[in-house]
Structure 1
Amino acid sequence: MKKLDRRKFLKATSASALSLASLSTVTSTLTSFSASAQENDDYKALVCVFLFGGLDNHEVVLPYDEENWQAYAAIRESLLSPQGANRERENLLPLFPLNQSTFGAREFALPPELSRIKKLFDEGNAAIIGNVGPLIRPTDRKSFEENSVLLPPRLFSHNDQQSVWQANAPEGAQFGWGGLFADAAIAQNPAQSVDFSTISSSSDALFLTGTLARPYQISTDGAASIQLLKRFENSEDTFDQRLYQQLRAHFSGEINETSHLITQDVINLMQNSLAANEKYNRSKNESEPLTTSFPASPLGQQLRVIAESISMRNNLNVNRQVFFVGIGNFDTHSDQASNLPKLLEQVDESIDAFYRSMQSLGLGSDVTLFTASDFGRTLTVNGDGTDHGWGGHHFVVGDAVIGQQILGDIPPPAFEHDKDAGNGRLIPSVSIEQFASPLGRWFGLSEEEIANTFPNLENFQTNELRFI
């Protein structure tokens, strides 16, 4: 008989028997709930918006100077034509970065679907970090083709590159750098609630998993609840109330004393999860509603519940939080001209609403949002779509951001240059470590904590990207 793996058993049990529960509460101890928690003046939060499937970097930041636009349009004619006026040069949204001198005569623009992010950029509240991706050491076309430099594992694979982006290791990794950031914050402030230090509205939560921090899962309706308890809780019927008390005692573990190790672990999971969910929902009910309207899209609603969670920060007893949201369908091998603009518009509307909600909460300088994705895509067109790439372009948004900058690199729309891995698949100019380290410093991590989080950081130049 195959030996029972305790870790796997707990994971399976918590998923099936406790859909209400977050795995964050397996080892944590709930702090007592206080509706009159002290106002927290030292609050910071990071929000990762993960675009699953591989965002086409070549259609996020487009060339705008005449020479490079013509080269780009010739390569991508079959993707530009179906989009009509939206991809005509005169209808693009030109960027005027403060560091324009870095790029000489080259100019850049955003597509019309990103008009709100463009406004944030112009106002100095958003920056673009160009050509970011996983690296182990600085790499160029020559070293890539000669295989003379150590490369990230399993390039161009969705699952593995999602994992590498979130955890510096391929599928199977244990700890994400968002979770390790939260670990450092918990160690610095032991009074902070562990349970709500990392919160995810996406099913993928590797990014938020640390040694102490465990992702607390919420839905667009808030924390989960047990439907049987909700059904009988407010009933005036005596039998219903007796049944409610029995069910509550069962789910909270009050009537399940046992010496069996695995059974006790499951009971603890149930008990702590129920308490955490009730605390979260109680905090939500006692909080003022958001005044910002969010789009009804999947990303808009995920960012809405993240904004609600941030508004509850004092009742949840947290002064540092890391959040993870995600949407899919960016794997645009086909029908890209029809699908990608709609996705970009969803990203634009949702991020803008989230930014405005932080303004209304007075937290514009205390919350920083950034995008991430599996990889970029090829410059070449496969017919009506694009294929898996490597480096990609990303946004960082918030009042703390040193905005109206394009940092990193935007390679030209051409082939066989120093950063071309083939077919316009970009070799990253900025490693994930270089992208994430400034966020960690802003979040409050020491240089030692950053080095422990990113062991490969020492392989890259130490000069910091100055975007926050």
Structure 2
Amino acid sequence: MFVGKSTELSRRAFMRRSSQLAGAGVATSYAMGLAGIGEAAAFASTGGYKALVCVFLYGGNDHGNTLIPFDAPNYQRYSQIRGGNGSEAGGGIALPRSSLANSVLMQPDEQTLTDDIRYALAPTMPLLKSRFDQGNMAPMLNVGPLLTPLTKAQYESDDNTRFPRPANLFSHNDQQSTWQSSQPEGSPTGWGGRMGDLAQSSNSNAMFTLINATGNAVFMNGEQAMPYQVSPDGATLINGLSRGRLYNSSAASTALDTLLKTHTGHVFEGDYAQTNARSVEFGGFVNDALARSSVATDFGTGNRLADQLSVVARLIAARGDLGMTRQVFMVSAGGFDHHDGLIGSHEALLGQVDFAMDAFYRSTLELGIADQVTAFTASDFGRTLASNGDGSDHGWGSHHFVVGGAVNGGRFYGTAPQVSVESDDQVGRGRLLPTTSVDEYSATLAQWFGVSPSELPGIAPNIGRFAQPDLGFMTRPQ
């Protein structure tokens, strides 16, 4: 019988918190924070600063036109399936083969992929192609949410008890949440936030352990740690307080400050007031630290993802002033739900991702910490290899990228899928059945970050069912 770890972990966390809150006598955020002490003891924060940066591509990135088969036999299959009738000129939603000639990724001679496939990056991603060649970028093939390893026959089985599948596959909201939490939609915590729970005691200012430079996302929520939100311009200040006079009245500003920070003892009201007080108190501190930090790397203009990564770079440059040893960041880009208009629009979006991630890597080189910062992509899901006429539909597994000085790059990780709509590694219309789980992906990143093997089930609840808690794309912690 299948037994889920997430329920067990939630029950244990609830019981642990309840007993500690009862002992504390009051349900305060400080008392809730005591729950992390035991876990934090197992976290390795030695070896200097480290940061993880999640780059989430909202909408479901079309992996078929991100990593494209380039060798002649597999390209012909790709072209046939995507509406190009097998022609090297492309057509439909197949890119012309000639457009890929400068972005072919040459893996080591000893690495042979499925059906001898050779991949090329999208032609608008020359910078990440160069990082692959230099050994600082690694593609992760066919990764997606799984509760347990599945074959196609098991996926098609009616026995969901023995062969469980993630809930509500192919749904945006559900799969965004599942990717970010390794649990069904509605989970209160994500695996970035759970790493923050373990790491926050390593930092002088625990409130900056998790920093979100995009909108709200479960990825950044911990049991105790919560994200500090920033914009590309820095900390978001409350105008009526930061300018000193609300409606041209200092009395109104004082009243607003009191309203935001006052509570009657209710636990939720108290946490809300504490969050407001933290925002008011530390907004100026963060912006002062940013003003003193210096990053000369050009992040360009008109690229929202680059703007977010620029402020992340500046915050990392200010890590000393902020008192940070371990941090998790999140940024995002949207617009990847290409049911139509794939050609042109998708390449443009990938060009923005290419520039932004490369600029961020260059900033870590400038700061001398490239091997201490790792950026990685994630998305709702991949998409169908089969064309719907002008685009592709919701899928499951997808390909992703990991970039940084500590990445064992220049080679592929995971199992390359067959270029097919009928093979055993897909579940209809070319929807990839993942061969690597998000739990394995997150566990590999977590161990590099400092999470001990004994704590991995708290980060990746399903990791005990998979054979590879370390996929090898990161250098092992020293």
State TM-score, norm by structure 1.
Answer: 0.84
Q: CA deviation at 1:108?
A: 1.4
- Structure 2: how far apart are the matches of 1:461 and 1:84? 35
- Structure 2: how far apart are the matches of 1:99 and 1:464? 23
Deviations 1:47-101 (A, max 9, x none): 0000001011111111111111111112213594378986536635111112653
Partner residue in 1 for 2:98: 88
CA contact (8 A) 1:76 1:380 kept: yes
CA contact (8 A) 1:292 1:353 kept: yes
Deviations 1:7-37 (A, max 9, x none): xxxxxxxxxxxxxxxxx999889xxxxxxxx
Q: Write out aligned runs for 1:163-242 (5 A).
A: 163-187=177-201, 189=202, 191-232=203-244
Which runs of no fewer than 5 residues in structure 1 stay unpaired?
A: 1-23, 30-39, 234-238
CA 51–100 in structure 1, closer or farther in 2 if over 3 Å, else same: farther
Q: CA deviation at 1:134?
A: 0.4
CA contact (8 A) 1:26 1:268 kept: no
Residues 1:307 and 2:313 aligned together: yes
Equivalent of residue 56 in structure 2, options 38, 45, 50: 50
- Structure 1: how far apart are the matches of 2:263 and 2:94? 68
Partner residue in 2 for 1:97: 107
- Structure 2: how far apart are the matches of 1:172 and 1:255? 27
Aligned partner letter, 2:58: F
Q: CA deviation at 1:460?
A: 0.9
Equivalent of residue 134 in structure 1, options 134, 145, 155: 145
CA contact (8 A) 1:435 1:465 kept: yes
- Structure 2: how far apart are the matches of 1:153 and 1:257? 41
Q: CA deviation at 1:231?
A: 3.7
Query: Bigger relative contact order, structure 1 or 2, given CA contacts below 8 A and separation 6+?
Result: 1
Residues 1:115 and 2:150 aligned together: no
Which runs of no fewer than 5 residues in structure 2 stay unpaired?
A: 1-28, 35-45
CA contact (8 A) 2:177 2:184 kept: yes
Aligned partner letter, 1:129: M
CA contact (8 A) 2:304 2:333 kept: yes
Partner residue in 1 for 2:304: 298
Equivalent of residue 390 in structure 2, options 368, 373, 384: 384
Q: Secondary structure of the residue that 2:132 maps to in structure 1? A: helix
Q: Write out aligned runs for 1:55-454 (5 A).
A: 55-77=61-83, 80-81=90-91, 87-88=97-98, 91=101, 93-98=103-108, 101-103=111-113, 105-148=116-159, 149-187=163-201, 189=202, 191-232=203-244, 243-244=249-250, 246=251, 249-253=254-258, 259=264, 261=266, 265-454=271-460
CA 226–27 in structure 1, closer or farther in 2 if over 3 Å, else same: farther
Q: Secondary structure of the residue that 2:331 maps to in structure 1? A: strand
Q: CA deviation at 1:464?
A: 2.5
Deviations 1:102-157 (A, max 9, x none): 32632111121111000000000000000000011111211112244111111000
- Structure 1: how far apart are the matches of 2:95 and 2:62? 20
CA contact (8 A) 1:141 1:421 kept: yes
CA contact (8 A) 1:332 1:387 kept: yes
Identity rate of aligned residues, in percent?
Answer: 38
CA contact (8 A) 1:85 1:91 kept: no
CA contact (8 A) 1:133 1:165 kept: yes
- Structure 1: how far apart are the matches of 2:305 and 2:31? 28
Task: Give the aligned CA root-mean-square deviation in angstroms.
Answer: 2.8
CA contact (8 A) 2:463 2:469 kept: no
Q: Write out aligned runs for 1:6-21 (5 A).
A: none
- Structure 1: how far apart are the matches of 2:230 and 2:110? 42
Q: Secondary structure of the residue that 2:231 maps to in structure 1? A: coil
Aligned positions, number: 426
CA 255–88 in structure 1, closer or farther in 2 if over 3 Å, else same: closer
Partner residue in 1 for 2:3: none
CA contact (8 A) 1:64 1:94 kept: yes
Q: CA deviation at 1:463?
A: 6.1
CA contact (8 A) 2:138 2:473 kept: yes
Q: Secondary structure of the residue that 2:327 maps to in structure 1? A: strand
Which stretch shows the higher mean deviation, 116-125 or 453-462? 453-462
CA contact (8 A) 2:146 2:434 kept: yes
Aligned partner letter, 1:102: T
- Structure 2: how far apart are the matches of 1:463 and 1:260? 43
